[in-house]
């Protein structure tokens, strides 16, 4: 399982103009075919864009928050 803390991708503020760079960083961290957990303080638009970019690359995507715990976004694990 790969844990990606989105808050480490940017400094004080995430900038939509840097979105392509953030996505490339996350793809590199996530690899191919892994279970991936997204966590960290980041804007909703960044979570949504990253989730979209990982669909088809990650086997399973989980959102993790201290408030909600783990929430499965998608799971393409063969049964």
Q: What is the DSSP letter of 55?
A: B
pLDDT at 79 over 80: no
pLDDT tens digits for 9-67? Answer: 999 999 999 999 999 999 999 999 999 999 999 999 999 999 999 999 999 999 999 99
Question: 3-state DSSP call for residue 60?
Answer: strand
Given strand 69-75, what is the order of strands in its sheet? 2-5, 35-39, 60-65, 69-75
Q: Which two tokens stand for residue 60?
A: 């399973």
| CA pair distance 25, 31, nearest whole angstrom | 10
Task: For helices 19-30 and 44-54, give the axis angle rounded to 10 degrees.
Answer: 50
Model pLDDT, residue 43:
98
Model pLDDT, residue 17:
98
């Amino acid at each position: 399982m790969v844990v990606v803390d989105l808050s480490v991708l940017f400094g004080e503020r995430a900038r939509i103009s840097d979105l392509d760079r953030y996505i490339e960083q996350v793809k590199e961290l996530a690899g191919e075919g892994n279970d991936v957990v997204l966590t960290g303080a980041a804007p909703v638009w960044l979570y949504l864009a990253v989730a979209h970019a990982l669909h088809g690359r990650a086997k399973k995507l989980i959102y993790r928050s201290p408030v909600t715990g783990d929430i499965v976004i998608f799971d393409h694990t063969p049964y």
